[in-house]
Amino acid sequence: MVLCVCANMQLSSQGTAHDEIDFEFLGNVTGEPYTLHTNVFAKGQGQREQQFRLWFDPTKAFHTYSIIWNPQHVIFAVDGTAIRDFKNHEARGVSFPKSQPMRLYASLWNADDWATQGGRVKTDWSKAPFVASFRNFNADACVMSGGAQRCPAGTMEASAAGGSGSWWNQELSGMGYRRMRWVQRKFMIYNYCTDPKRVAQGVPAECKLR
């Protein structure tokens, strides 16, 4: 079976200069592992892809895929383990998705022009309909209404017990960072920061920053 349809969860604002944070499972050929694709757009600029082949088969059971988005970090996590941390380096001239409210979207869409083997493999529509299942959705977030931001009580207060605070000021602990780096060494299959085609045009500024 050839499946070039993406199952995705994303946060996105509107317009050409939109912000966007993507979690996507790319299509595959039967028997091959699934690729988890992540991307971050800020002010309409994307092409910040990192891809992973996870340490489990995502079709066998439900798993928890989380996005922690706050003024300083976009952290992608799988079953509580961070796999990527896109940091705010606006002070160094790097755009960061911070100024636009975003909505959550979940969908299936045809991406056979690029998703499977660079677009060489096309969707087998005889296998339709394609199904993606989601459950136990949860959001802890501020809400924009009438141009004003409303946040749950305590959102911007630091946590006295844990020290890391709520999601508003959450960042990776030393252990969390080391665990993320282990995941990236073992399971990352693509990183825009090391793509020869991208690097030839100049290494993106954030790739040189920690």
Q: Cβ contacts of residue 60 below 8 Å, gap of 6+? A: none
**DSSP secondary structure of 38-57:** EEEEBTTB----EEE--SS-
Per-residue pLDDT reduced to its tens digit, 62-110: 999 999 999 999 999 999 999 999 999 999 999 999 999 999 998 887 7
Distance CA 85, CA 176 (A): 10
Look at residue 161 and tell me if it is in a domain.
no
Residue type at position 126: S
Look at residue 164 and tell me if it is in a domain.
no
Query: Which one-letter DSSP state was computed for residue 129?
Result: P
Look at residue 154 and tell me if it is in a domain.
no
Look at residue 148 and tell me if it is in a domain.
no
Look at residue 66 and tell me if it is in a domain.
yes
Count of the separate structural domains present in the chain: 1
Q: Are 67 and 74 in contact (CB under 8 A)?
A: yes
Q: What is the CATH number of the domain that holds 75?
A: 2.60.120.200
Q: Is 20 a catalytic residue?
A: yes
What is the domain extent for residue 110?
A: 2-140+171-208
Question: What pTM did the predictor assign?
Answer: 0.88
Report the 10 Å Cβ neighbour count for 131: 7
Look at residue 158 and tell me if it is in a domain.
no
pLDDT score at 161? 37
Look at residue 97 and tell me if it is in a domain.
yes
